[in-house]
Copies of this chain bind each other. A is one copy, B any other.
C-alpha cells in the first residue's frame, strides 16, 4: 500500500477516500539499485512514477556530454513528460543516484486515472508546483554565478548535495568539474580560515 503517495497527494488537495481506493490499486512498487537506469534516453517512457524513497537525476547527452538537467528528491512524482504523454522516444534519461523505491502506473492505467476529478486537480497543482520550481531555477541560473548557486543549494539541501557525484552537480550548475572542485576548495578554505 503506497501510503506515502496518499500523504503526498494530500499535501496538494483534499483526497476523497473512495478516490484513493481506486488510485492506490493501480500503482505497483519497484526498487532500483544505486546508479541503475530507470529510463534510457531514446526509449519510450511507459510509466508515471511516485518516488517514495531516494534521489534521481534527469540527464541528456548534448554533443557527447552527459548533462544533468534536474534532480528529484523523494517524496515527489516524476516521469519523462513529453515521452510519456505522446508515448514517443524520450529526449532524456532518468537514473537512480541512490537506492530508490518507486510506485509506478503504466500509460493505459494512467489514462483511467484521468477520469477521476480529484486526480486531475492534483495533477494541475503538481504541474504548477513544478513550473514554479523551474521558473525559479531559470531565474537563479541567470542572476547568480555558479559559486553562488552552489552555496544556495548547500544551504537548502545539505544532506542531498553530499549524495550527488561531483560531475553531475557540475553539469547541473553549468560548469566544468574542475571549476566546481575549485569552488568547493575555496569555500572550504574560507570556512576554516
Chain A, interface SS category: helix
A142 and B174 within 8 A (CB):
yes
B81 and A142 within 8 A (CB):
no
Q: Which of A21-29, A32-40, A99-107, A129-137 contacts B (4 or more CB under 8 A)?
A: A129-137
A53 within 8 Å of B (CB atoms): no
Q: Please measure, in the bound complex, the distance between the C-alpha atom of A133 and the C-alpha atom of B81, giving whole angstroms.
A: 13
Partner of A81, one of B131, B139, B173, B174: B131
A65 to B, closest residue via Cβ: B143
Partner of A131, one of B134, B139, B174: B134
> In chain A, residues 59-85, which have Cβ atoms closer than 8 Å to a Cβ of chain B?
60, 62-63, 65, 67, 69, 81-82, 85
A86 to B, closest residue via Cβ: B128
B142 and A138 within 8 A (CB):
no
